[in-house]
Structure 1
Amino acid sequence: MAEPVRHGAPLEPWKDPAAKPFLRVENVTKTFGKVYACDDISLDVYRGEFFALLGGSGSGKSTLLRILAGFETPDRGRVLIDGVDVTAMPPYARPVNMMFQSYALFPHMTVAQNIAFGLKQDGMAAGELRDCVQQMLELVQMPQLGNRKPDQLSGGQRQRVALARALAKQPKLLLLDEPLGALDKRLRERTQFELVNIQERVGTTFVMVTHDQEEAMTMSSRIAVMDAGRIVQVSTPAALYEYPSTRFVAEFIGGINLFEGRVLGHDADQRIARIACAAVEGGVLHARHADPLPEGTAVSVAVRPEKIDVHEAPPRADNVAVGKVRDIAYLGDVSIYHVETESGAVVRVQETHVERSSEPHYDWGETLWLSWPASGAVVLST
């Protein structure tokens, strides 16, 4: 069984030039009329990954998943699984199974019969079938519930039955279409970890479609962010959050502040860009940037709300802005402040509540100084 990839694990095959992709999508294009649902998409997924396709409605993620499953045929391009071109194969001939958002359990069958359905269709012997079903029930921690009907189960239990049925045929690739979308928030959060733990135990390669950024960040080894039929960035959750490559990714993943400006120059070692920006004190914003940009280049500078420190007096820092509190949201673990600067820019700041308090620390109309280091800012030229 292959070793799965997990957050922070030393095994990262996408960084190994010698590693061969388990799933390869090559220049796949799919149109519906004049609309490009998938526009020249290429993608590599490695064995044992829990990979997420993340995007909003109309981004093309569901169409790409259906192409992988064989429910749609691309206009151009091809799909290879474990080195085999499956582009023209029908769904039943592919080493792939799919778990649908609705779970699609048979209501008249028991849990055990639902799990056994595909195995019976394949002609598995009765004794082997019983053993396999029991193994699947134990995998999803439901060994005593095989005789229940789906309407006697909770939403989380139905989700696990659907997963067990999908894994029972031992597919090389499991596709998950919004797998937790039918669950309430608390159950969804708990089930995320359960699903990851199951994937780690079986080692099957998972590809999941979701519009929920938190879900993708929690569960995936890597994420492909999609927009308008294209993949705009593929990376680990941490790299997507800390180093977005485009303005779209920065805004789509987590909360963000965007400051507009033009490049004035760089420091002596070319690591810090100086950017003209009216929202900060002195009119110059400093941001770390790996590749020097030509003077005069229009850029956006992204700063996460939690990177910003709040002060009641002017601080000494790389970047300082001053403004008045216009909006406050108390969320229990954190407070969110919207601070409007003299230039009219509104800066979102997040303060974590370390000590017990029934009220936010600052009040409407209060003047605050905000600061953040150059290393906390990301320069985006697109």
Structure 2
Amino acid sequence: MQTFKQRLPLFTTIGLISGFILSFGFGLVNYIKLLYYAFEPPSYPIEITYVPLILMFFSLLLGEFSFRFYSRIPALHVKNGKLIILIASHIAVDIQFLWFATAPIHAKVIPYLTDKSKHVNFGEYEAIGHVLTGNFHTLTMIFVFLPTVFMILFTLWYSGHIVRYREEILKWVQKYEYKNHKLQKWFNSQEEQIYPDVEIGPHIEHKEMVRIKGKDRTLNGIIIGPIGSGKTSSLIIPMINQDLHWMVRFINKFETAYKKNDYDTEEVKGTFLNGVTVIEPSNDLCQKVYKLVQAHKIPASSVYYIDPTNPDTKNINILRGPVDKVAEVFAMVIQGLSESNNAFFEQAQRNHLKQHIYLLKLHNPQKDVTFDDLIEMYVRP
């Protein structure tokens, strides 16, 4: 079950969208009221207020952040959701602008024209005056709808430019994801990190840490760079350090997890990193990693540091294990190292080697045979 901290980005985004919808609805209701007053003038004077101007900027900010935050909240994602929010934010700003532009017409322009129409003396041109002022209600409606007509024309012009790049815009909206290195951990807190993800460094543009997903790390990877470019210090050591952190998690949770009936499933055992192997010829990296292991307080019994320069180093007996598996794996390794192009002799050598291993291990099953014993069989048959 998710905690409040994990749900906080979701609640925040819902709050932003709710505030955006409320401001949009409030502006729409007031704008419709102003249009209605063009047909049924109110009995009280309409005052000019800066509320629609404030709400216009407020809606712009709410729409912008709703669009950005929504892109990072998978729980809210629906088909074309980002596109709907983007279009709605533009419409909301237009509505607030229409409210702001129409209110002064009701408050100043129409009362001014009404007053002048009552006091204008056309003299001998009274018939012309009657034509100009006789249908005064239609004239007021024209003035009231001027901002709306202007906005419609502007929208048509603006939409024409959008249609030209429709495919590019739709692709951008579909792939868009808000990036902010200061909020990255906050957004990532939505899901509990159970797989051994590693961060490899900040993105060159938005500075968010680039992560390799734990599930993707089972695939091949390569780090390319010239000598001295910082491959080891900037990438390899930090990645190993994070892996050791995940290994400590495995050690701490192993006793509890192992008692579960579903321990051997992908959902439990598959989420743990149970080992790190470092193979390096110069031993410099191995020494640094060994110090990191000690810093993480990983038990010495779990560490196998094979150092050829140390006569007391731990070693690996490659012939230890079930005889059939040892014979097959060992023969495959030797075959992989062979440069022979003759399939017949290659297969014969493979069978010969496997038979020697079977003989060596089955001759005395209680004995822990080693590679030296196998060499001795070839030297002294």
Shorter-chain TM range is under 0.3
Higher helix proportion, which one? 2
Higher strand proportion, which one? 1
| Higher normalized contact order (CA 8 Å, seq sep 6+, divided by chain length) | 1
TM-score, normalization by structure 2: 0.28
Question: Which protein has the larger Cα radius of gyration, Structure 1 or Structure 2?
Answer: 2
